[in-house]
């Protein structure tokens, strides 16, 4: 079984971006991002409604990183340390050498290839440094932007699960994509 150690925190870099650990200084940006119903439209998680909840989110996320069960990065541009999005492996199954990737980006930065750029680096980290054999992504069937990001990164559609998730009174479909190490 794989064993992870995310300490010291693995800061990553791409052409335009820095990927770093969340800090309590990110509280306002997390609140703006996670309280926005449009941004959260396809992410079945409750909206964050206050600064306190945003701080709690940061604490919970960093505790999970410290216990090596999650790895989450704040996305920033190289010009500015302000958080513009997040990316990470949130459901890791070390026994299967597999993890689920997730990402979210502030609307002001959509359509500039930012998540694609961050995802390429995170995929490399997953395969080459974490030792994963496969990475999965689970999306809403109507999240065409996210689907495009996955297809651009060689993910393959594995299946469409009907009414797979119960969230806020509704059963939601989930589409599973995956990328195998041998195909990346
Ligand atoms: C999905 C998301 C992460 C994409 O981030 P991004 O940095 O804009 O992605 P990229 O620019 O790398 O690529 C997006 C591609 O999808 C396209 N696209 C975006 N929205 C689209 C839509 N509704 N229909 C079709 N294509 C769409 C873009 O034009 C772009 O295509 P291109 O590479 O040919 O220019 C971002 O829109 C987001 O954060 N959405 C809200 C959170 C979310 O849904 N997260 C994913 C949960 S699984």
What is the DSSP track for 109-160?
GTTSSHHHHHHHHHHHIIIIIS--SEEEEEE-TT-HHHHHHHHHTT-EEEEE
Q: By mean pLDDT, which of 1-5, 56-60, 122-126, 174-178 is the weakest?
A: 1-5
The pLDDT score that the predictor gives to residue 104 is 98
DSSP state, 48? P
Q: Which residues sit with their C-beta closer than 6 Å to ligand 1?
A: 39, 42-43, 103-105, 110-116, 139, 143-146, 148-149, 152
Q: Does residue 154 carry a pLDDT above 90?
A: yes
> How is domain 12-183 classified at the CATH fold level?
Aminopeptidase (3.40.630)
Q: What is the mean pLDDT of residues 71-89?
A: 98
Q: Does residue 184 carry a pLDDT above 90?
A: no
Mean pLDDT of the chain: 97
The pLDDT score that the predictor gives to residue 111 is 95
Ligand 1 centroid from CA 95, angstroms: 31
Q: Give the pLDDT band (50/70/90) at residue 165.
A: very high
Tell me the C-alpha distance between 160 and 133, whole Å: 22
């Amino acid at each position: 079984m794989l064993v992870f150690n995310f300490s010291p925190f693995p800061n990553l870099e791409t052409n335009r971006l820095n990927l770093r650990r969340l800090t309590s200084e990110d509280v306002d940006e997390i609140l703006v991002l996670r309280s926005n119903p449009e941004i959260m439209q396809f992410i079945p998680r409750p909206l964050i409604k206050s600064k306190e909840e945003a701080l709690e989110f940061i604490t919970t996320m960093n505790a999970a990183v410290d216990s090596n069960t999650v790895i989450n990065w704040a996305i920033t541009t190289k010009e500015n340390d302000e958080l513009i999005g997040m990316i990470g492996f949130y459901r890791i199954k070390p026994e299967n050498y597999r993890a689920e990737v997730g990402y979210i980006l502030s609307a002001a930065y959509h359509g500039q290839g930012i998540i694609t750029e961050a995802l390429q680096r995170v995929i490399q980290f997953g395969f080459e440094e974490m030792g994963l054999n496969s990475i999965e992504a689970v999306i809403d069937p109507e999240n065409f932007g996210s689907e495009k990001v996955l297809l651009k990164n060689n993910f393959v559609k594995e299946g469409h699960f009907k009414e797979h998730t119960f969230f806020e009174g509704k059963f939601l479909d989930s589409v599973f994509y995956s990328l195998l190490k041998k195909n990346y």
